[in-house]
Amino acid sequence: MFKNFDVIIVKNQREILEAIETAKIEKPEAIIGFVPTMGALHEGHMSLIETAKSQSDIVVCSIFVNPTQFNNPDDLKTYPRTIDADRKLLEEKGCDILLLPDVKDVYPNGEQPYSIDLDGIDKSMEGAFRPGHFKGVCMVVERFFEMVQPDIAFFGKKDFQQLAVIRKMTAVRNLPIEIIGVPIKRAENGLALSSRNALLTEKEREDASFISRALKSGLDFSKTNTNAASIAQHIEAQFKGTAMEVEYVAIIDNDTLEPVEEVSANSTVCTVVYYGKVRLLDNMQFADA
Ligand code: PAF
């Protein structure tokens, strides 16, 4: 374990528990807030850290590009890695502990068989287009929960389905951890902030802001037509003639994640759009229409 700037950097379970124990000497009942990330940190992550700081006494952030959740080896290879800049940002935001493990610290016995029944909420959308993705996400988040033993964990609402999956996993495993969803952060042009945006040029990031405008126009359309299929069609049609390709537009119930026929204040539209090889997610709630 070593101290760099003001953030304590640890690598494995023994070091993280030691660091937390030391921090707890001053305040034994300290609330541990945890923000798991894959790095390439941006303002969206900073808002997770800020929320964690406002609700906990000790904030732990992990940076680990988890190989078990990538079904596409190229995606894993090209995933942006900016660890020095990440460290500085965490330091600026006052994160207390940075967990920076290697694969063997997370999976000391290699990748073990893992299964969990999530009542089907992991099967649609990301689950359908990225087979095995949520198994990898649950595997790593459950392992991090074991390593860090947080009281509260914070996840971005940009990954709408992931948040639901993690809430479900935590309930199924009966873990005493509160899961908090933090609102999407957008660039001024409306583009949802994502580590993958770093793979786009400035011009492409400007073009990609179209995704949020298309979703917003779907929300506006719903004021006169609540039929989900028509709204999805309306959104998809807008991408014709652009450099972007829609993978899916799904309009779902917020609780079950099942597709809805008619939208209500409890529905969300989720989309994935490819800009070249870069896969961009976004979603908007009809309650905000
Ligand atoms: O959302 C992410 O960055 C990742 O899926 C997570 C939750 C850190 C697990 O690797």
For range 162-186, the mean pLDDT:
98
Q: What is residue 235's predicted lDDT score, i.e. its pLDDT?
A: 98
Predicted confidence (pLDDT) per residue in 82-97, tens digit: 999 999 999 999 999 9
Tell me the pairing of strands 7-10 and 2-4.
Answer: antiparallel
Q: Is 215 in contact with 208 (CB distance < 8 Å)? A: no
Q: What is residue 5's predicted lDDT score, i.e. its pLDDT?
A: 60
Strand partners, 259: 252
Per-residue tokens: 214: 């298309």
Report the SS3 class of residue 229.
helix
Averaged pLDDT score across all residues of the chain = 96
Q: How far is the CA of 64 from the centre of ligand 1 (A)?
A: 8
Which residue, by CA, sits nearest to atom 8 of ligand 1?
37
Active site residue 234: no
Q: How far is the CA of 215 from the centre of ligand 1 (A)?
A: 24
Predicted confidence (pLDDT) per residue in 14-47, tens digit: 999 999 999 999 999 999 999 999 999 999 999 9
Instruction: Give the span between the Cα atoms of 263 and 285, in whole angstroms.
Output: 10
Predicted confidence (pLDDT) per residue in 110-145, tens digit: 999 999 999 999 999 999 999 999 999 999 999 999
**Eight-class DSSP state of 286:** G
Which residue, by CA, sits nearest to atom 3 of ligand 1?
37
Q: What is residue 6's predicted lDDT score, i.e. its pLDDT?
A: 83
Residue 137: CB within 6 Å of ligand 1?
Answer: yes
Instruction: Give 1's pLDDT tier (boundaries 50, 70, 90).
Output: low
Q: How far is the CA of 262 from the centre of ligand 1 (A)?
A: 31
Whether the pLDDT of residue 176 is over 60: the answer is yes
Whether the pLDDT of residue 50 is over 60: the answer is yes
Which residue, by CA, sits nearest to atom 5 of ligand 1?
137
Residue 36: CB within 6 Å of ligand 1?
Answer: yes
Residue 69: CB within 6 Å of ligand 1?
Answer: yes
Q: Is 9 in contact with 1 (CB distance < 8 Å)? A: yes
Whether the pLDDT of residue 66 is over 70: the answer is yes
Predicted confidence (pLDDT) per residue in 145-155, tens digit: 999 999 999 99
Strand partners, 280: 273
Residue 159: CB within 6 Å of ligand 1?
Answer: yes
Q: Is 150 in contact with 84 (CB distance < 8 Å)? A: no
Strand partners, 59: 33
Report the SS3 class of residue 264.
coil
Q: How far is the CA of 39 from the centre of ligand 1 (A)?
A: 9
Give the Cβ contact number of residue 69 at 10 Å. 21
Give exposure, 79-99, as e/b (b: 16+ Cβ within 10 Å): beebeeebbebbeebebbbbb
Instruction: Give the span between the Cα atoms of 36 and 137, in whole angstroms.
Output: 11
Residue 126: CB within 6 Å of ligand 1?
Answer: no
Q: How far is the CA of 63 from the centre of ligand 1 (A)?
A: 9
Whether the pLDDT of residue 3 is over 80: the answer is no
Residue 169: CB within 6 Å of ligand 1?
Answer: no
Q: How many residues does the chain have?
A: 289
Instruction: Give the span between the Cα atoms of 139 and 149, in whole angstroms.
Output: 15
